Amino acid sequence: MSQPASSPEVENFWVLARRQAKLERLPAYFGPSGLVSLPPPAWSFGATQEQADELAGLVVDGVKTATASAAEDYAAEGVPLPEPGTLGIVLDGAGHPRALVATTEVAVVAFDRVDAEHAHAEGEGDRTLATWRHRHETFFREVDPHGRGFRPDMPVVLERFRVLHPKPPKR
């Protein structure tokens, strides 16, 4: 959820990505819309550079199309929950932009109510619910900036997204 400061690299990516994603559809005489004038938040998945690299790669490859986060963290940080249509720039572990994504669905459910379909869409490991639960319980226990603790019934924000513009890594 944390949002690194904008950089020239992120801004340049935004200019290219919004064109490639055809977000600039209004005729020029209307002037730029807020949607294309302001870059969306840029953020990375996970808590480490390695996790951010792995998960950004899964997004670019089209394997990861969902994510989950602790609902209580949004409230503690005063950040609204994502909504369908929300744009974001996914960063890798070094802060390089890797994909422009758009949220398509959002639901808040108890951790122990997350289903196998969502676990599969997250694209991690063997993509099973058991692996998802193990990895996410571990994550929520270890990454707890607001002291929320882990509970099987803790509210989790389930977000689905689609990639509007991927940027493969330089080889």
pLDDT score, position 1? 44
Nearby residues of 118 by Cβ (< 8 Å), 6 or more positions away: 66, 68, 132, 158
Helix residue spans in the chain (DSSP H)? 8-20, 34-37, 49-60, 71-77, 116-122, 129-142
Q: How does residue 23 score in pLDDT terms, banded at 50, 70 and 90?
A: confident
Going by C-beta distance under 8 Å and a sequence separation of 6 or more, which residues neighbour residue 43? Answer: 1, 2, 3, 4, 88, 89, 90, 91
Q: Identify which of 148, 149, 171, 161 has the alpha carbon closest to the alpha carbon of residue 99.
A: 161
Domains, the chain, ordered by start? 8-166 (3.10.400.10)
Give the DSSP letter string of 86-109: -EEEEE-TTS-EEEEEEEEEEEEE
Residue 38 DSSP class: S
- pLDDT > 80? residue 42: yes
Q: What is the mean pLDDT of the chain?
A: 89
Mean pLDDT of the region 7-11: 92
β-pairing, 87-91 with 42-43?
Answer: parallel
Quick one: average pLDDT of 80-102?
A: 96
Cα 52 off chain centre by: 10
Query: Which pLDDT does position 28 carry in this prediction?
Result: 53
Lowest mean pLDDT among 36-40, 94-98, 116-120, 147-151: 36-40
DSSP 45: S
What H or E segment, with its residue span, contains residue 162? strand 155-166
Question: What is the pTM (predicted TM-score) of this model?
Answer: 0.87
Q: What is the pLDDT of residue 170?
A: 65
pLDDT at 2: 45
